[in-house]
Amino acid sequence: MKISVIIPTYNRQEQTVRAIESVKAKNYSDVEIIVVDDASPAPFEYNDRGVNIHVIAVTIYRCDINAGQGVGRAFGVAHSSGEYIAFLDSDDLFGEYWLDAVINEMAIMRTIDSDKALFVGREIPPHHQRG
């Protein structure tokens, strides 16, 4: 199951790079990362630092005018190809096991005849985490 991670950003070069790298550091490779630069004064740039062993595509879109995070998220979703969407703010990071826990929960949801799952918040409850 492919997951599209949407990261809207505005004028947060280093924070956004750290957010991207927190996704790429995971053990799951069927991910695309979409960064939507909301017309930052200096356009967002990303050079892959080889953080993970998987090849994960990072696509950057730049808006012509500053329209806010909501528009950036919607734009990212419209340009995504994942079966599932995850939103990550440019100044946040995925926790060490967050993506793994989400994938495990989605697999469980599929077995109980549910075709949609929504995860809100910064953490998965402790009983779902490894380690």
CA distance 128 to 7: 25
Q: Give residue 115's pLDDT.
A: 57
Residues 47-101: pLDDT tens digits? 876 655 566 889 999 999 999 999 999 999 999 998 888 899 999 998 877 777 7
Residues 88-121: pLDDT tens digits? 999 999 887 777 777 787 777 777 765 555 555 5
Q: Which of 21, 72, 73, 71 is nearest to 47 (CA)?
A: 21
* Between 74 and 1, the higher pLDDT residue: 74
Structure tokens at 80: 């995504």
Residues 2-39: pLDDT tens digits? 889 999 999 999 999 999 988 888 777 889 999 999 99
pTM score, whole prediction: 0.81
Q: Give residue 126's pLDDT.
A: 47
CA distance 74 to 29: 23
Q: Give residue 125's pLDDT.
A: 45
Structure tokens at 27: 């053990």
Q: Give residue 73's pLDDT.
A: 95
